[in-house]
Amino acid sequence: MSSTVGVSAPAFGRSAVPAFPSVALSADAAPFTPGRADSSLSDAEKQFSRCAAKLWSLRADCGQLREELNQLFDQLLSENYNKSCELPITIRPEEVCILLKHTSGLVPLNQEHLVVKFCQLVHHLLNQLKVRTSMVQICLQRCCPTI
């Protein structure tokens, strides 16, 4: 059931107005989910999203892992997540918990500096984003029930 249909803009009788390019549509395509535009995100949310994406892309066998973790931890620690601004910070506690769980597996335990910095990051994010202890437990049980 994956038929495609070409769609273009109507001509309206003006030859100087270019038509929109044809776009292939598919019944199998993911539905459109409206989200907040990037401009409606606070600076703290943009920073968190950028760093989270980079942390998710890292692997334990990455050659530059220590340097990358150190830089990303510094960036996340430098942000003030509870400052008052015109845009509310809406980073979900589940996102924080799952990211911290993933990141904990990346930190080499023989790198004391990174272990300490990771602990500071946990404290910083959980306190400033007001993540309750019960929420941390629920998230950890969902993403890794063996803990």
Do residues 112 and 97 make contact, with C-beta atoms less than 8 angstroms apart? no
Q: What total of structural domains would you count in the chain?
A: 1
Burial class (CB in 10 A: 0-12, 13-18, 19+), 47: middle
Amino acid found at 134: S
Share of the chain above pLDDT 70, in %: 59
DSSP 81: T
Least confident of 62-71, 92-101, 116-125: 92-101
pLDDT for the residue numbered 6:
47
Do residues 27 and 2 make contact, with C-beta atoms less than 8 angstroms apart? yes
Q: With a cut of 70, say whether residue 37 has pLDDT above it.
A: no
Task: Please report whether residue 2 resides in a domain.
Answer: no
Phi, psi (degrees; rounded to nearest 5) at 6: -85, 135
Task: Please report whether residue 24 resides in a domain.
Answer: no
DSSP 40: G
Task: Please report whether residue 13 resides in a domain.
Answer: no
Q: Which residue has the higher pLDDT, 124 or 12?
A: 124
Task: Please report whether residue 5 resides in a domain.
Answer: no
Determine the average pLDDT of the residues in 71-77: 95
Whole-number mean pLDDT of the chain?
73
Q: How far apart are CA 93 and CA 132, in angstroms?
A: 8
Residue ranges of alpha helices (H) inside the chain are 43-57, 65-78, 93-104, 112-128, 133-143
Structure token pair of residue 69: 């973790």
DSSP 146: T
Q: With a cut of 90, say whether residue 27 has pLDDT above it.
A: no
Segments forming the whole domain that contains residue 51: 43-56+64-143
Determine the average pLDDT of the residues in 119-147: 70
Q: With a cut of 80, say whether residue 77 has pLDDT above it.
A: yes
Task: Please report whether residue 36 resides in a domain.
Answer: no
Task: Please report whether residue 30 resides in a domain.
Answer: no
pLDDT for the residue numbered 134:
62
pLDDT for the residue numbered 88:
66
